[in-house]
Amino acid sequence: MNKVALITGAAKGIGRAIATRLAKEHYNVVINYLTSEKEAIELKQFLSSTYNVEVLVVCADISKENEIDNMISIIEKEFGGVDILVNNAAVDLSNLWNEKNIDDFKKTLDVNVLAAYLLSKKVAKHMIENKWGRIINISSTNGINTYYPVSIEYDASKAALISLTHNMAIKFAPYINVNAIAPGFIGTESELNGYDEEFLKSEQEKILLQRYGKPEEVANLVYFLVSEEANYINNTIIRIDGGQLGSN
C-alpha cells in the first residue's frame, strides 16, 4: 500500500512541486489548500491521471484547530492516517515597519508555527503506532541568518519553526524523523511579485550560483528526506539556497 503524504499549502508554488514529486514516486497525496480551489482541483486531476495514485483535496484553514481536526478526520476515513507530513503552508505579510500590527504578527505565527505544531502532534499518533513517520518543516534562510525588518514576523516564525523541528525530533524519536528545509530565494510567482528589479538583481548577486532556486529543487530534497535512503537523517536543518551569502 502506498504511503500517504499530507502537504499543506499544496495548490501552488513549492507545495505543488512537492505534491507532484511525491505522486511521481507513488505516494498517495493529500492536497491541503485554503483559497486556491481551482488550482487544487486541477492538480488532483493531473496527479491522478498522470501517476495513477490516490489524491485527496481538503480545504482547511490551518490557523484554526477545529479545521485541522476536521481535515485529519477526513484523511483518516479515506486513508487511515498520515505517514508523511510536509508543513509547507505559510503567510508572509511583509510591509513597512510603521504599518505593522499585532494582528498580522499573530496571524503569521498561527499559520507558520502553531499550525505546524498542531498538525505534527495530531498525526504523530498514527506514525508512532506504525513505528515509521516523516515530518518535514519548510522553514527559510530568513530564519537562520538572513533578516529583513519588513518581514520581521515571517523571519521570527521561520526561526521558531527550526526550534520546533529540534524539539519534535527529540519528542517523537525513534520512530519519526523530523527535519527542516530552509530554502533561500526560490523563483515562485508569489516570491517574485511585489519586488522591484533592482532589489531582485541585488538579491541574485548574493547567490553563488547566480540564480534563483526552482520549486522542483526543493521538492527533490523533500523526496530524498522521506525516502528510505535518508533513514539516518534526523533533527537536521538543510539549507537549499545556491550558496546564499549570509545564510550560513
pLDDT per residue over 206-238, tens digit each? 899 999 999 999 999 999 999 999 999 999 999
Sheet holding 176-183: strands in order across? Answer: 55-59, 28-33, 4-7, 84-87, 133-138, 176-183, 237-240
In this prediction, residue 97 carries a pLDDT of 83
In this prediction, residue 202 carries a pLDDT of 83
In this prediction, residue 203 carries a pLDDT of 82
Q: Give catalytic status of residue 154 as yes or no.
A: yes
For residue 174, how many C-alpha atoms fall within 13 Å in the half-sphere facing its CB?
A: 2
Query: Is the model's pLDDT at 144 over the cut of 70?
Result: yes
pLDDT per residue over 107-117, tens digit each? 999 999 999 99
In this prediction, residue 58 carries a pLDDT of 98
Q: 8-12, 50-54, 124-128, 141-145: which range is least confident on average?
A: 141-145
Q: How far is CA 12 from the centre of its chain?
A: 12
Check residue 112 and give left, alpha or beta (phi > 0: left; psi -120 to 50: alpha): alpha
Query: Is the model's pLDDT at 196 over the cut of 80?
Result: no
Concatenate the DSSP letters of all residues of 3-50 into one string.
-EEEETT-SSHHHHHHHHHHHHTT-EEEEEESS-HHHHHHHHHHHHHH
CB atoms within 10 A of CB 7: 31
Residue with cell 504523530: 124
CB atoms within 10 A of CB 133: 25
In this prediction, residue 98 carries a pLDDT of 87
pLDDT per residue over 150-178, tens digit each? 889 999 999 999 999 999 999 999 999 99
Query: Is the model's pLDDT at 41 over the cut of 70?
Result: yes
Please compute the mean of the pLDDT values over residues 49-65 and round it to a whole number.
98
Average pLDDT, the chain: 94
* Residue spans of beta strands (DSSP E) within 79-166: 84-87, 133-138
In this prediction, residue 145 carries a pLDDT of 81
Q: How far apart are the first and last CA of the chain?
A: 40
Distances (CA, A) of 141 to 18, 65, 82, 145: 19, 28, 28, 6
Q: 36, 83, 63, 68: which is closest to 157 by C-alpha?
A: 63
Please compute the mean of the pLDDT values over residues 3-14 and round it to a whole number.
98
Q: How confident is the model at residue 191 (pLDDT cuts 50, 70, 90)?
A: low
Which entry of 117, 147, 148, 154 is annotated as an active-site residue? 154
Q: How confident is the model at residue 195 (pLDDT cuts 50, 70, 90)?
A: low
Contact (Cβ atoms closer than 8 angstroms) between residue 65 and residue 73 = no
**Which of 145 and 52 is assigned the larger pLDDT?**
52
